[in-house]
A = this chain, B = another copy of it.
Amino acid sequence: MGEATSRQALDTRLRILEAAEALFVEHGLEATSMRMITSAAGVNLAAVNYHFGTKDSLIQEVFRRRIAELNRLRLLALDEVQAAARDQGGEVRPSQVLTAFFRPVLEMASDAEHGGHNFMRLLGRTYTEPNAFVRQFLAEEYAETLDRFMAALYASLPGVPREEILWRFHFMMGATSYAIAGTDALQLFAGAFDDADPSRLMPRLMSFLLGGLRAPLPDFDRPDAG
């Protein structure tokens, strides 16, 4: 880059990334062919191999750039609440940790302009993605951020067994994934979601997540208690 031709090369690269992202959301990774991507991007078939090498590398790059941004927003939000707590001599509350973690996802998901909406739907299902290389790659991209959030959550819930916190965090990610996949995924409840206002999704989800996090710990001897 930096050459006379670099701007067009950058355009091509970016156009491929965005076309690929949109098609991956719509059809899945396997079902999206190089030919579909290049024709949607308006570039030559060989351009993908030139700029990214293989299809797998392209997939990796599609995820990498969005997750990097997501990690950045999440850690920024966590830094802020931790700094505020330090200044006031208090402790970070569990709800603040959850908000720092889940709000950036919903914000990116509702941000149609930056293509975030598409990507978040894709991200939600990669957690259970069959493709092992994608799963492995995602785990690595997430590792650091997750470590920091889990540590913060443990600290905000002293006395609660870490095993339970871990499981509940896991459940929360599932709930959030479905919250994003939302109503345009499976039309299970046909016409039932009258109020799908995106600005209401965050409070809806947060109250649910907090309720789940704060629920009485399971009694393994009376599993149906409720």
| Chain A interfacial positions (CB closer than 8 Å to B) | 25-28, 30-31, 93-96, 98-99, 121, 124-125, 127-131, 135-136, 138-139, 142-143, 146, 150, 163-164, 166-168, 170-179, 181, 185-190, 192-195, 200, 202-220, 223-224, 226
**Residues on the B chain within 8 Å of A215, using CB:** 207-208, 210-212
Alpha-carbon gap, A164 to B203, bound state (A) = 11
A189 and B128 contact, CB distance less than 8 A:
no
Question: 7 A-B contacts, Cβ less than 8 Å apart?
Answer: A127-B181, A139-B187, A143-B190, A150-B189, A170-B178, A174-B179, A207-B218
A128 and B130 contact, CB distance less than 8 A:
no
Q: How many copies does the complex hold?
A: 2
B206 and A223 contact, CB distance less than 8 A:
yes
**Residues on the B chain within 8 Å of A226, using CB:** 93-96, 98-99, 206-207, 210
Apart from the given pairs A164-B204, A170-B179, A208-B213, 16 other A-B contacts in the complex at a CB distance below 8 Å: A26-B130, A28-B129, A99-B226, A128-B181, A128-B186, A139-B186, A146-B189, A150-B192, A166-B189, A167-B204, A168-B204, A170-B178, A175-B212, A203-B223, A207-B215, A211-B214
Interface centre among A136, A175, A192 (most CB of B within 10 A): A175
With A30-B28, A223-B203, A226-B95 as contacts: A174 and B178 at CB distance below 8 Å: yes
A-B pairs, 7 with minimum CB distance: A211-B215, A174-B178, A95-B226, A30-B30, A203-B218, A28-B130, A203-B223
Alpha-carbon gap, A52 to B150, bound state (A) = 48
B173 and A178 contact, CB distance less than 8 A:
yes
**Residues on the B chain within 8 Å of A187, using CB:** 135-136, 139
A185 and B127 contact, CB distance less than 8 A:
yes
Q: Which of B26, B139, B194 contacts A188 (CB 8 A)?
A: B139
A171 and B163 contact, CB distance less than 8 A:
no
**Residues on the B chain within 8 Å of A93, using CB:** 226
B207 and A27 contact, CB distance less than 8 A:
no
A17 vs chain B, min Cβ distance (A): 19
